[in-house]
Amino acid sequence: MRIILLGPPGAGKGTQAKIISERFGIPQISTGDILRKAIQEQTDLGRRAKAFMDNGQLVPDDLVTGIVHDRLAEPDCSRGYILDGFPRTLAQAEALTESLKGQRGGIDFVIDIRADLSRLVKRLTGRRLCKNCQQMYHEEFNPTKMKGVCDKCGGELYQREDDTEETIVRRFDVYESQARALESFYASSGKYRPVNGDLPVDQVTREVFAILNH
């Protein structure tokens, strides 16, 4: 099963992608995670992406489409995958359609996690991640037992550099400038399914599974 997750920053793409990945045994491909890893490892890609990400701007299409094209060619993607945070522009969506042309079938579902932006700021400013295992927490909605320490592995928690209010607002602007074009691109494919991302995590998951199991 090939799935695309769309939605604004903080909608829960990463949260739901992880749950779908475990349930269906297919990899989560998050362009944001790939780029952050590249920055951490100081690769050429990371050096080129850093300023864009720190400012809440999109990394140029050619860099991102190249990464995804290569990633989808890896063997673990043969049974399907979940794209989390890609495509983000019409150009990326077109490039993806083009690179899937040679393969049987294309994307099965485009799930758009819709959410009220004003409620997402709190989700993002409160998000904490484990440095060691990347487990996600939220200071208020999903706190660790001991402050600053991962429940799963004891690792130290950190905050994403782009999770400041100023950068979050910029990320929302970027999202809004692209969202409608992406929606209409996929609406015409018949694969587009909106879900209500304002609901609690488990209820969003229920909506998503109802679509995937249909």
Active site residue 88: yes
CB 62 within 8 A of CB 32: no
In the bound state with ligand AP5, the residue whose beta carbon lies nearer, of 124 and 157, is: 124
Tokens representing residue 165 in the block? 């209010």
> Which parts of 17-46 interact with ligand AP5 (CB under 6 A)?
31-32, 35
- Cβ within 8 Å of residue 73, ≥6 positions away: none
User: CB under 5 to 8 A by kind: which of ligand AP5, Mg ion, Zn ion, none does 204 bind?
Assistant: ligand AP5
Nearer to ligand AP5, 1 or 39 (CB): 39
Q: Is 13 a catalytic residue?
A: yes
85: tokens are 């945070």
Residue 136 is a binding residue for Zn ion (CB under 5 A): no
- In the chain, the amino acid numbered 210 is A
200 binds ligand AP5 (CB under 6 A): yes
The span from the CA of 17 to the CA of 27, in Å, is 9
**Residue 87, preceding bond cis, omega within 30 degrees?**
yes
Active-site residue 48, yes or no? no
Q: Does 135 bind Zn ion (CB under 5 A)?
A: yes
- Residue 130 contacts Zn ion per CB under 5 A: yes
Candidates 6-14, 73-81, 148-156, 188-196; binding stretch for ligand AP5 (CB under 6 A): 6-14
| Residue 171 annotated among the catalytic residues of the structure | yes
**What whole-number distance in Å separates Cα of residue 92 and Cα of residue 207?**
26
Residues with Cβ within 8 Å of 109's Cβ and at least 6 positions away in sequence, in order, are: 1, 2, 3, 4, 191, 193, 211, 212
8 binds Mg ion (CB under 5 A): no
CB of 152 to Zn ion, least distance (A): 5
Buried b (16+ CB within 10 A) or exposed e, 178-198: bbeebbebbeeeebbbbbebe
Q: Considering the rule CB under 5 A, would residue 152 count as an interface residue with Zn ion?
A: yes
Question: Which of 2, 36, 123, 127 does the annotation list as catalytic?
Answer: 127
Sole binder of Mg ion in the list 8, 10, 14, 56 (CB under 5 A):
14
- Is position 114 annotated as part of the catalytic site? no
The site for ligand AP5 (CB under 6 A) is made up of 7, 9-15, 31-32, 35, 52-53, 56-59, 64, 85-86, 88, 92, 123-124, 127, 136, 138, 141-142, 162, 171, 197, 200-201, 204
Catalytic residues: 13, 88, 127, 160, 171
